[in-house]
Structure 1
């Protein structure tokens, strides 16, 4: 609703307009809310919300895909790509690895995987974190002195338990200098009024509305919308949220997926990483 889907939500929180640059203009797109507990997805075992993780998410998504292709067999032989952003830098490669594993194990193509696309992804904790500070410094959001202090005094190893006082001081300076900007879109305006409007604002693909989070939240929690989507059939005890849900625990998260990405080269899978 806010990125690559076919529709955008107006400021009234109840009407839509078309996204001129939707990805489904070029391909069949299957959107999956994952893991269980995110969005409208759910589990019939509350313990799953406490013990979620990378491995169980890959396994669940794989089972879902197999069953979906059984339900819609006309897509079985189509070229298949997996795309995602942010922490999907874990989900996407791990699901792809699972697909490759079972294709090889059974010596047959269960899913015709051709490649993956991951945007602004979490790939390698050590370099991801350091790269964020380098980015802030190269865009004059934090001072050269702060960047220098972070590089000199902070330990970016995923095994680091504590940090030095000088590292903590530099990190606090970063927090102070980034609190008034959107770190995911540093040139974008901020939302100062997330209230819905009686009538839709005049919008177009040229205009970025920083309050679209609020419009999406309102729209996805409308009963008529949920009924039209055949969603929330279990009557969840929480709202649909863009980032959130019922998850309260995560028991496994690898510090890097670089070995998996390197493995794909051996199988000639296409890998596109974009920022």
Structure 2
């Protein structure tokens, strides 16, 4: 079902100017790889999108590209991407599309530069630092700003924003992929995965289903092999029930509030907010969650007066009739001054404390729990999340013991 939702951009993204090669610089690049034959397809589009002078970028040996792909010429609708080649042996490694959730969270501003990309925004916000646990160690990573209105993605037709929804998002992402493959043809036959977190629990399966259905036409074939979801949003009604139960079991709300909701709220009904008692009780849950980080209850909120931006702990991300589902980018110190977070994510500290990840395997499904992590797992457990990603790509079981 395609839920209607109000788009809230959860991250205001302001980047320094990225210099790329093109006519304005007078530079022309003739080098590169073709992942099949040894020389890259050096189309003008590739040359324009190659990032060559990103401010504060650590020196690396792999290339990366950023730019727009127009998905609707008539309406002027374009999606922004940032693509990183794999650190080593890129022609031997798969292609992975990463989608952040929200709806409205930037895959570039959050996923690529705060979670799993090779360049993480430094604590002062003025530079970048190298991420030793970047997922492009294992794959060629493509981060997409989706849908329009997120990050740098846009439309020149204002009515497009009134049509936003899960189906709209999936169709644009599908169009993007085929047009992106025209710019990077050597990747069209590469083993392909789709990964994401949070509301991408809706985005990823819908896009995967669309690819599967369209693959019946050989000319449209995309070699999709699997999908990977982190803390996914899957069912609106179940998510509401889970949110309430979690709040109650972790002493966020009282027994009385929980009983009122249990008695009066039917979240899978056509109008779950018609009951006044349910409405008031749920409002109490949301009121309490405004005081804490909903996805990392024991992480302190930023209280610094020196910040030059306005942090709001609860971001409204999903519309269920007239009531909004709260979504926040939890899982780390919002002031980016996470000394304890850094310390407890050091491998030697975790080994000394005998910290273990935990997982359970079913037929065709592995369920992994990352102890001590918040909603955005790679922020808390970068080495463990990379190990999971590596095992997923190789089709192997997760390691039973932590490696050095």
Same fold (TM over 0.5): yes
Q: Note the residue ranges of structure 2 that are not aligned, 5 or more in a row.
A: 1-112, 309-330, 338-362, 370-374, 376-404
SS at match of 2:181: helix
Pick the aligned partner of 2:183 from 49, 54, 71: 71
1:33–1:40 CA contact under 8 A, matched in 2: yes
Distance 1:76 1:82 in 2: 14
Out of 186, 189, 192, the position equivalent to 2:303 is 192
SS of the residue corresponding to residue 148 of structure 1 reads helix
Q: Shift of the alpha carbon at 1:61?
A: 0.8
2:115 aligns with 3
1:30-69 CA-partner distances (Å, limit 9, x unpaired):
0000111211011232221222222221111111101112
Question: TM-score normalized by structure 1?
Answer: 0.68
Contact 2:237 / 2:268 at 8 angstroms: preserved in 1? yes
Correspondence for 2:66 = none
The correspondence for 1:27, drawn from 133, 139, 144, is: 139
Aligned positions, number: 211
Residue equivalent to 1:39: 151
By percentage of residues, which structure has more helix?
1
Name the residue aligned to 2:174.
62
* Superposition deviation, residue 142 in structure 1: 1.8
**CA contact under 8 A between 1:133 and 1:147: conserved in structure 2?**
yes
1:153 counterpart = 2:264: yes
Shift of residue 108 of structure 1? Answer: 6.2
Q: Is the 8 A contact 2:266 2:272 kept in 1?
A: no
Higher relative contact order (CA 8 A, sep 6+): 1
1:17 and 2:129 aligned: yes
The range that moved more, 122-131 or 169-178, is: 169-178
2:260–2:281 Cα contact (<8 Å) kept: yes
The secondary structure found in structure 2 opposite 1:50 is helix
Q: Secondary structure at the match of 1:31?
A: strand
Question: 1:177: which partner in 2?
Answer: 288
Match of 2:200 in 1: 88
Pair 1:120-2:244 in alignment? no
Cα 1:48–1:269 change in 2 (3 A) is farther
Aligned counterpart in structure 1 of residue 209 of structure 2, from 97, 108, 113: 97
